[in-house]
Structure 1
Amino acid sequence: MADQIFKKRQGEKRKRKEATRQIQPYRYLIVCEGSKTEPNYFEGIREQIHKKYGRKVRVSKINAERIEIDGTGRNTEDLVKYAIRKRRDAEIPYGHVWCVFDRDSFTDQQFNNAIVCCKSNNIGAAWSNESIELWFLLHFEYLNTGISREQYVEKLNRYFELYNINQGKYEKNIPDIYKNLVKFGSLDNAIKNARKLTKMYNDEDTSANRNPSTMVYQLVEELFEYL
């Protein structure tokens, strides 16, 4: 009888361990081309995830050590090489590595090569064509016409003035950019709008020719699986 009770308890303990392993989040490394704008956005997501899991004693926490966001200011191709080195040299392995970068400052070849390099090295590419401001704008409206970063800023300024965000003006490096975009815009709409844009193009179209388009939504969706 005692032996049966022991085996039952061991079986229950094993099931609890297996359940814990299933919800064990992978460590993330998010390397951003920009040194402030993109990191600030993902810092906002990390903070939200941290708030949910930080006090769950029995759940593996996603905290500052599990999602590392590195704003580098490097160019697109060097950014991917940097991410590869950082993953290789990490004492604790990263489960997921992503690069976040824009098209607007680089040639078609540089941009396309960076994406190919990501894929061949099992790194996610959260790219935007032309710029991250497209992703920000999609929180408020759908846009299927290719425009410049400056024109994105003009459109964002209208919403920032309407909702009195950052004293009515969009700027790079706003610390609470994520909170403001999801408060006055819609993250669900941003994802829907980004998905809709991807359907505009054929498989033969290169990433550099997909303007406007953004894959940032793929990284956001992956992170939000924990929420």
Structure 2
Amino acid sequence: MTERDYVQGLKSSVRNPAVSVKIVERPKAPSQVVAYTAKLLASAAEEYDQAWCVFDVDEFTDIDRAVTDADHSGIGIALSNPCFELWLLLHFTDHRSHAPSCTHLVPHLDRHTAGGYSKTGLDFRAYESTWREAVRRARELAPEGKEPEVNPSTGMWRLALAIGGPAT
């Protein structure tokens, strides 16, 4: 999974001893992912300082519910509109034009990745030196928390900073 590979790569790259990351993949609708995370958090709250859900707008109809439920449960949301590939593209360029779907973004991402972009073979080294630049670009796309309403936008910058530490 691209998101998992990216988060693990970022964690390894920044070597922040104060951060440990546990990734649980749940290929479900966003509200189901949030409900599962809330249940995990409730049963082991003392184990975690933060919990995050990473998902795309895609064609889901329960985004608003997922965001509201996450807010009520104290869960961070790293939502990308339309998809996570936007976050990856922001490592290379300041992409601000509407993206009707993920397939629209992949050719742009192909131009910046050696051998082309592969959803199943993400090599974090391609993104390692520019993740803070992606944070800056993503912050300029939408007001915090407004990602469901703005295309393109991504809240991955908040999770990246939670893992990598504040911007210097």
Q: Would you say same fold, with TM above 0.5?
A: yes
> For the Cα contact (< 8 Å) 1:135–1:216, is it kept in 2?
yes
1:119 corresponds to 2:71: yes
The amino acid of 1:114's aligned partner reads A
What secondary structure is seen at the aligned counterpart in 2 of 1:69? Answer: coil
Which structure 1 residue ranges, 4+ long, deviate > 3 Å from structure 2? none
2:159 is matched with which residue?
Answer: 219
Give distance in 2, aligned partners of 1:223 and 1:134.
19
Shift of 1:121: 0.9
Match of 1:77 among 31, 34, 47: 31
Structure 2 counterpart of 1:152 = 105
Correspondence 1:192 to 2:146: no
Where in structure 1 are there 5+ consecutive unaligned residues? 1-35, 54-60
1:100 pairs, out of 18, 40, 54, with: 54
Paired AA for residue 67 in structure 1: V
Write the deviation string for residues 135-169 of structure 1: whole angstroms up to 9, x where unpaired: 00000111111112011101011112xxxx2xx12
Measured in 1, the distance between the counterparts of 2:87 and 2:164 equals 16
Matched, 1:133 2:85: yes
Distance in 2, Cα, partners of 1:171 & 1:139? 16
The structural deviation recorded for 1:44 is 0.7
Inter-partner Cα distance in structure 1 for 2:12 and 2:98: 32
Residue 134 (structure 2) pairs with residue 180 (structure 1): no
C-alpha contact (below 8 Å) 2:53/2:78 kept by paired residues: yes
The aligned amino acid for 1:120 is H
Local SS of the residue matching 1:68: coil
Larger relative helix fraction = 1
Q: C-alpha distance in 2, partners of 1:194/1:226?
A: 15
Which structure's relative contact order is higher, taking Cα pairs within 8 Å and 6+ residues apart? Answer: 2
Identity of aligned residues (%): 28
Work out whether residues 133 and 152 of structure 1, in 8 Å CA contact, stay in contact via their aligned partners in 2.
yes
Q: Secondary structure at the match of 1:146?
A: coil
Query: How many Å separate the matches in 2 of 1:180 and 1:128?
Result: 20
Q: CA RMSD in A?
A: 2.3
Instruction: Structure 2: state its 5+ residue gaps.
Output: none
Question: 1:47 corresponds to which letter in structure 2?
Answer: S
8 Å CA contact 2:10, 2:128 repeated in 1: no
- Once the two structures are TM-superposed, the CA of residue 122 in structure 1 deviates from its matched residue by 0.7
1:112, 1:207 within 8 Å by CA — same for their partners in 2? no
Shift of 1:91: 7.7
Residue 21 of structure 2 corresponds to residue 67 of structure 1: yes
Output the CA distance in 2 between the equivalents of 1:134 and 1:72: 21
Instruction: Mark the structure with the bigger radius of gyration.
Output: 1
TM-score normalised by structure 1 residue count = 0.67
Identify if the C-alpha distance between structure 1 residues 91 and 80 changes in structure 2 by more than 3 Å, giving closer, same or farther. closer
